[in-house]
A and B are shown apart, each in its own frame.
Chain A
């Protein structure tokens, strides 16, 4: 027999985006039902590298990432745990003078967004970070960026929402979502039917299909960033490392393990990905080059995840162009962990106040759905950053 629930807001997907939307809605007393196919935070949100950085993001993401930065600062009040979040600093390296020039240009363009980027030349780097490889040309340091433990943080958003009264249902896979003219009808097979005034499409790499079912086909693809972790090593590095232009990134957790990312895993079915033999060798080689101390260390695990990606590496965030009451938030393109909480808050504002206090125009779904009319406007970008270089 089908269970039927009436609610104000239905959410598809309990990643950091969907769960934080549920949390912020409950903080304002809005009835919410969140449907998660697996477990909250079990997908991209729970398996990512854990980089919590603003540096490197495009200008269009600056207001969002700034707000997220404030929210990360309140993490324990938000979700009840510290999530191993540390403002360790984020150091983005340049291996050539040309890349150094790009870092400088980036600093100039993002002045005023509170990142306080500090440019360091080769000498300054070797003084402060003696463990770095020799071939570094310079770097840009963002003192208040950092990292956190996604395995702990993302599920905690789901638990926090639930504790505030959200009806969070794990292991419930949405099979259809439609609008009957007055309400959304969201079904999970024959088991469950949720009717709601609003619907939030937060299904991560799987969200494109819901957009499409509402007549808004978008070119969302799935990517699988490749990760590895070493055995615990004596602590030598506190900052989170990235590289201008992407390719490899690394951090060390309190326990001593180095978490290193770069390259891609491979898809092994619609819902799953695996590290893939193609790129693990390159990742290991790059890692020892970046961090010579890893020469004597051992890798204990490779892994990857399934993440939604958009062609311009910006999310789709905001109201549907077709169906009133439908809001999209997906395609965070390999960099959504940091902005996730702010995205959730924006969604709650869109529901409660009909508008967001943060500019999100660059993320409109129309930039893709209108593409057929030649109207796609790529915002002026400073995306030296790629999704592979948190």
Chain B
């Protein structure tokens, strides 16, 4: 049997469970993670020295968080874990990995991409005012640094995370000025039968809402953002509800409309993509086990499609089993079936969640011409619309070429989805029909002075 040199990118729940399954069969995967400590997004650990307990940090999830952290701790001697490592390029069977200013080539025979997700950013007037954060970002501040983004915070957007983070902020002592949900109460009612499949999740959600209400936090549904007020700093937020415009005072806004999969590496590696209607985004094509269209490359967790932390653990393990199967190593076929069944059940819950907290499909038409969509390049919605009208641009890469949208530091990772929504609306197409931005290295900006070591290092197996 030829040597198997597996590499896992991402040490979140998906990556950790994948590593565990590989180690169980005697493999020694390399784990590359940009973060400094394992846990990924949801189970992100504060820097050493921070004293808040896991139950305070992760709430109901603290046992799961502990389990993931402990698993990684136990694995440390059996894996080649490299924190603080940014995979900035991928080509053929080699990754370029930047760590401490030096880039090394890391070869692999099999690769599990467990790269997670970032917030889906959908701008609205005033979103660039200091004090406006993405919902996930506001949570990172709390989890990682123990800081709140403000002392009086409005949470706006939709999705289960909205109520969770608001709750976490309130528990941590911040004033939650309001929770403004873009979905309607009726949406959640309609999704109720589906949500009953996941009573635990439902109960938690209801608990957060109930707790917030009981502590005097105003919760509003069916809202649309109008504008953030303030110059140097947020002073308030106005929104529309039932045809009325209301304003709420606050010094910070956390805004979030679900997540967007981090798929650059899959794209650089030539994986085929499909339009995932539930995520309203392009995600790598994969089979039920997580095999991508490229042999030897597997996708798991939120980087494959948004499915949440529990599913990330399941899909990470499932992808590892697929890897084992494909390398003719022993793998537990029965376990694989169990995992697939659980993932399928989870997927049905996801469907219900999407119904409960739907994407505001009127976002693109409602956004004013002067709202900045791409903040790196300061490209407004109006510029995008005019380019579509005046040049006949119908496709994202052409729009990018003509307007610079997505040409800045984030290379479209942040503004890409919003720009696609604006373009699709402007040309009367579906978001699926305007294509996706071509990805090129680096995945994130890297210093020009980076030293690239020429010779691929040897991977210990």
Give A contacts to B, CB under 8 Å: 39, 42, 46, 151-152, 155, 159, 230-232, 255, 268, 274-277, 280-281, 284-285, 287-288, 294-303
Q: List 30 A-B contacts (CB under 8 A).
A: A39-B395, A42-B397, A46-B401, A151-B402, A152-B402, A155-B401, A159-B391, A230-B448, A231-B409, A232-B408, A268-B270, A274-B91, A274-B440, A277-B89, A277-B94, A277-B96, A280-B452, A281-B454, A284-B448, A284-B449, A284-B452, A295-B449, A298-B446, A298-B447, A298-B448, A301-B407, A301-B441, A302-B440, A302-B442, A303-B440
B442 close to A301 (CB less than 8 A): yes
Shortest Cβ gap from A236 to chain B (Å):
14
A276 close to B91 (CB less than 8 A): yes
B411 close to A300 (CB less than 8 A): yes
Measured in the bound complex, the distance between the Cα atoms of B409 and A297 in whole Å is 12
A155 close to B402 (CB less than 8 A): yes
Within 8 A of A (CB), among B58-99: 89, 91, 94, 96
B449 close to A288 (CB less than 8 A): yes
Measured in the bound complex, the distance between the Cα atoms of B96 and A302 in whole Å is 14
By a CB distance below 8 angstroms, the chain B residues around A39 are: 395, 398
Answer whether residue B326 sits at the interface, using C-beta atoms and an 8 A cutoff: no
Measured in the bound complex, the distance between the Cα atoms of B305 and A326 in whole Å is 51
Give B contacts to A, CB under 8 Å: 89, 91, 94, 96, 103, 105, 268, 270, 377, 391-392, 395, 397-398, 401-402, 404, 407-409, 411, 440-442, 445-452, 454
By a CB distance below 8 angstroms, the chain A residues around B441 are: 275, 280, 301-302
B398 close to A294 (CB less than 8 A): no
Shortest Cβ gap from A121 to chain B (Å):
28
By a CB distance below 8 angstroms, the chain A residues around B94 are: 277
Supply 12 further A-B pairs (C-beta < 8 A) apart from A277-B94, A287-B448, A300-B409: A151-B402, A255-B377, A268-B270, A276-B91, A281-B450, A284-B449, A296-B449, A297-B448, A298-B409, A300-B411, A301-B407, A301-B442
By a CB distance below 8 angstroms, the chain B residues around A255 are: 377, 404
Known: A152-B402, A274-B91, A280-B89. A298 touches B452 (CB 8 A): no
Closest to A227 in B: B440
Measured in the bound complex, the distance between the Cα atoms of B448 and A280 in whole Å is 10
Measured in the bound complex, the distance between the Cα atoms of B402 and A329 in whole Å is 26
- Most chain B CB atoms below 10 A, which of A276, A295, A298: A298
Shortest Cβ gap from B422 to chain A (Å):
19
Q: Which 9 A-B pairs have the closest CB atoms?
A: A281-B452, A298-B445, A151-B401, A294-B448, A277-B91, A300-B445, A303-B440, A297-B448, A295-B449
By a CB distance below 8 angstroms, the chain A residues around B96 are: 277
By a CB distance below 8 angstroms, the chain A residues around B454 are: 281
Shortest Cβ gap from A266 to chain B (Å):
8
Measured in the bound complex, the distance between the Cα atoms of B268 and A268 in whole Å is 11
B448 close to A275 (CB less than 8 A): no
Closest to A304 in B: B440
B447 close to A297 (CB less than 8 A): yes
By a CB distance below 8 angstroms, the chain A residues around B409 are: 231, 298, 300
A301 close to B411 (CB less than 8 A): yes
By a CB distance below 8 angstroms, the chain B residues around A274 are: 91, 268, 440
Shortest Cβ gap from B414 to chain A (Å):
13
Measured in the bound complex, the distance between the Cα atoms of B84 and A387 in whole Å is 39
Shortest Cβ gap from A99 to chain B (Å):
25
Shortest Cβ gap from A86 to chain B (Å):
17
Measured in the bound complex, the distance between the Cα atoms of B200 and A79 in whole Å is 62
A301 close to B440 (CB less than 8 A): yes
By a CB distance below 8 angstroms, the chain B residues around A42 are: 397-398
A299 close to B103 (CB less than 8 A): no
Closest to A284 in B: B448
Closest to B445 in A: A298
Shortest Cβ gap from B389 to chain A (Å):
13
By a CB distance below 8 angstroms, the chain B residues around A301 are: 407, 411, 440-442
Closest to A303 in B: B440
By a CB distance below 8 angstroms, the chain A residues around B377 are: 255
Measured in the bound complex, the distance between the Cα atoms of B403 and A384 in whole Å is 37
Shortest Cβ gap from A170 to chain B (Å):
9
Known: A46-B401, A155-B402. A281 touches B446 (CB 8 A): no
By a CB distance below 8 angstroms, the chain B residues around A295 are: 448-449
By a CB distance below 8 angstroms, the chain A residues around B451 are: 281, 285
Known: A231-B409, A284-B448. A299 touches B442 (CB 8 A): yes
Shortest Cβ gap from B383 to chain A (Å):
13
- Most chain B CB atoms below 10 A, which of A46, A288, A296, A301: A301
By a CB distance below 8 angstroms, the chain B residues around A284 are: 448-450, 452
Shortest Cβ gap from A50 to chain B (Å):
12
Measured in the bound complex, the distance between the Cα atoms of B291 and A101 in whole Å is 59
Shortest Cβ gap from A52 to chain B (Å):
18
Closest to B270 in A: A268
Measured in the bound complex, the distance between the Cα atoms of B438 and A303 in whole Å is 10
By a CB distance below 8 angstroms, the chain A residues around B448 are: 230, 284, 287-288, 294-295, 297-299
Shortest Cβ gap from B325 to chain A (Å):
29
- Most chain B CB atoms below 10 A, which of A42, A277, A301: A277
- Most chain B CB atoms below 10 A, which of A42, A231, A285, A299: A299
A155 close to B440 (CB less than 8 A): no
By a CB distance below 8 angstroms, the chain A residues around B397 are: 42
Measured in the bound complex, the distance between the Cα atoms of B447 and A300 in whole Å is 9
Known: A277-B89, A281-B452. A299 touches B446 (CB 8 A): yes
Closest to B450 in A: A284
Shortest Cβ gap from B2 to chain A (Å):
23
By a CB distance below 8 angstroms, the chain B residues around A294 are: 448-449
Closest to B391 in A: A159
Known: A46-B401, A155-B391, A300-B411. A275 touches B440 (CB 8 A): yes
By a CB distance below 8 angstroms, the chain B residues around A231 are: 408-409, 445
By a CB distance below 8 angstroms, the chain B residues around A275 are: 89, 440-441
Measured in the bound complex, the distance between the Cα atoms of B400 and A46 in whole Å is 12
A299 close to B402 (CB less than 8 A): no
Shortest Cβ gap from A277 to chain B (Å):
5
Measured in the bound complex, the distance between the Cα atoms of B438 and A46 in whole Å is 14
By a CB distance below 8 angstroms, the chain B residues around A230 are: 448
Shortest Cβ gap from B145 to chain A (Å):
24
- Most chain A CB atoms below 10 A, which of B105, B392, B449: B449
Shortest Cβ gap from A180 to chain B (Å):
34
Measured in the bound complex, the distance between the Cα atoms of B401 and A152 in whole Å is 7
B398 close to A155 (CB less than 8 A): yes
- Most chain A CB atoms below 10 A, which of B408, B451, B454: B408
Measured in the bound complex, the distance between the Cα atoms of B454 and A285 in whole Å is 12
Closest to B103 in A: A281
By a CB distance below 8 angstroms, the chain A residues around B398 are: 39, 42, 155
Closest to A293 in B: B448
Measured in the bound complex, the distance between the Cα atoms of B409 and A287 in whole Å is 19
Closest to B442 in A: A299
Measured in the bound complex, the distance between the Cα atoms of B177 and A185 in whole Å is 71
Measured in the bound complex, the distance between the Cα atoms of B268 and A276 in whole Å is 10
Shortest Cβ gap from B156 to chain A (Å):
30
Measured in the bound complex, the distance between the Cα atoms of B393 and A46 in whole Å is 14
Measured in the bound complex, the distance between the Cα atoms of B94 and A287 in whole Å is 24
Shortest Cβ gap from B130 to chain A (Å):
20
Shortest Cβ gap from A381 to chain B (Å):
34
